[in-house]
């Protein structure tokens, strides 16, 4: 605890970088100079739900190591303090970049690279860990960007271990957790969670990447409030270019990429989970789109 207090200058308000359901996040520096994000649970963490979230985040983070996932350095549970120390990612969230917080517009090529990074991260969680992990809260504000615009998926507070297929399980029955606009409707209806719920959220994030809009835009006209539905309708009607983020340039290459990404997103947000692709398949499709895009630009 003394080490944590030193790293955060005794939880100085000037080092506060975030606030969430879990508690407060501070920027800190370990003795060896490593910059970290210190997540300090709110005192209400004694309530059972948040206690479970702390444990699920710690259990998930302790099992994973991947270039596109936020690295966990350790955690501490002492008295009424619960703290997780993770890698500090300096360049804010994807959502802030889509909102142009620094005045710079993310190019479509960068957005495509970010989509590939996120797809790699989720594929790793689903396929390459000892026991598959379902993230359950894939969204643009949980995707952090490095200075070089590489994406790192963060926030494992809602993560769950997937069903044990070897013992014949097909899903995990659980209370619905996640964020409105990104939530798999089949999971909402049945309380049955599978890896395909992450695929749905990823599909929504793809639409967000190319349109620049949030999943739910309550101030827009009725037809445009649910971004994915609006974008898919335009895609089906052959008016795909009208959904491109107005901050991006209209060009033949951009229109082709937009069309291919929306085609993948449409599969990901299919109402029936059995018709959605795996994340591994999403990676393959995105790599092909990237290759085609580069060929067009060369």
Residues 129 and 174 in one domain: yes
With cut-offs at 50, 70 and 90, classify the pLDDT of residue 170.
very low
Once rounded to an integer, what is the mean pLDDT over residues 204-232? 95
- For residues 139 and 64, membership in a common domain is answered with no
In this predicted structure, which of 149-153, 176-180, 277-281 has the lowest mean pLDDT? 176-180
**What pLDDT score was predicted for residue 164?**
43
**Are 175 and 42 part of one and the same domain?**
no
CATH number of the domain at 68, please: 3.30.200.20
Per the structure block, which two tokens stand in for 90? 């300096």
Domain co-membership, 280 together with 189: yes
Query: Residue 157: what pLDDT?
Result: 55
How many percent of the chain have pLDDT more than 90? Answer: 60
Regarding whether 213 and 146 lie in a shared domain, the answer is yes
Domain boundary among 87, 121, 144: 87
CB 277 within 8 A of CB 199: yes
At 209, list the tokens.
Answer: 């990447």
Of 87, 122, 141, the residue at which a domain comes to its end is 87
Averaged pLDDT of the chain: 86
Residue count (the chain) = 298
Domain that holds residue 185: 94-297
Angle at 242 between CA 241 and CA 246, to 5 degrees: 95
Give how many domains the chain has, as a whole number: 2
Residue 88 half-sphere exposure, CB side, CA atoms within 13 Å?
19
Look at residue 184 in the predicted model and tell me its pLDDT: 78
Query: Could you confirm whether 245 is annotated as catalytic?
Result: no
Which residues make up each annotated binding site for ATP?
43
Determine the Cα–Cα distance for residues 98 and 179; give it in Å rounded to an integer. 18
Last residue of a domain, one of 33, 65, 87: 87
Q: Are residues 273 and 206 in the same domain?
A: yes
- 235-277 pLDDT, tens digit per residue, is 999 999 999 999 999 999 999 999 999 999 999 999 999 999 9
The one catalytic residue in 113, 137, 155, 245 is: 137
Which CATH number characterizes residue 150's domain?
Answer: 1.10.510.10
Based on the fold, state whether residues 157 and 276 are members of the same structural domain.
Answer: yes
Q: 73-87, 110-124, 143-157: lowest mean pLDDT where?
A: 73-87
Residue 11: per-residue pLDDT: 94
Q: In this predicted model, what pLDDT tens digit does every residue of 45-102 receive, in sequence order?
A: 455 555 666 666 677 667 788 999 988 888 888 877 888 888 999 899 999 999 998 8
pLDDT of amino acid 168: 45
pTM above 0.85, yes or no: yes
């Amino acid at each position: 605890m003394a080490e944590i207090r030193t790293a955060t200058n005794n939880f100085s308000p000037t080092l506060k970088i975030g606030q969430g359901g879990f508690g407060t996040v501070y920027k800190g520096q370990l003795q060896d100079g490593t910059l970290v994000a210190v997540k300090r649970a709110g005192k209400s963490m004694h309530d059972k739900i948040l206690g479970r979230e702390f444990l699920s985040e710690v259990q998930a983070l302790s099992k994973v190591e991947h270039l596109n996932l936020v690295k966990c350095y350790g955690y501490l549970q002492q008295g009424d303090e619960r703290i997780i120390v993770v890698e500090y990612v300096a360049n804010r969230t994807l959502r802030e970049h889509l909102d142009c917080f620094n005045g710079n517009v993310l190019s479509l090529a960068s957005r495509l690279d970010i989509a590939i990074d996120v797809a790699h991260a989720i594929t790793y969680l689903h396929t390459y860990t000892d026991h598959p992990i379902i993230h359950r809260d894939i969204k643009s504000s949980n995707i952090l960007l490095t200075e070089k615009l590489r994406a790192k998926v963060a926030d494992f507070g809602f993560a769950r271990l997937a069903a044990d297929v070897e013992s014949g399980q097909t899903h995990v029955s659980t209370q619905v957790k996640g964020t409105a606009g990104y939530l798999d409707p089949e999971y909402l209806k049945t309380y049955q969670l599978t890896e395909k719920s992450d695929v749905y959220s990823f599909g929504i994030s793809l639409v967000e990447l190319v349109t620049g809009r949030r999943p739910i835009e309550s101030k827009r006209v009725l037809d445009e409030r649910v971004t994915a539905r609006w974008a898919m309708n335009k895609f089906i009607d052959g008016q795909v270019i009208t959904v491109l983020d107005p901050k991006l340039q209209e060009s033949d290459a951009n229109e082709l990429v937009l069309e291919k990404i929306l085609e993948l997103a449409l599969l990901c947000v299919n109402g029936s989970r059995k018709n959605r692709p795996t994340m591994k398949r999403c990676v393959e499709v995105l790599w092909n789109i990237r290759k085609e895009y580069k060929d067009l630009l060369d």
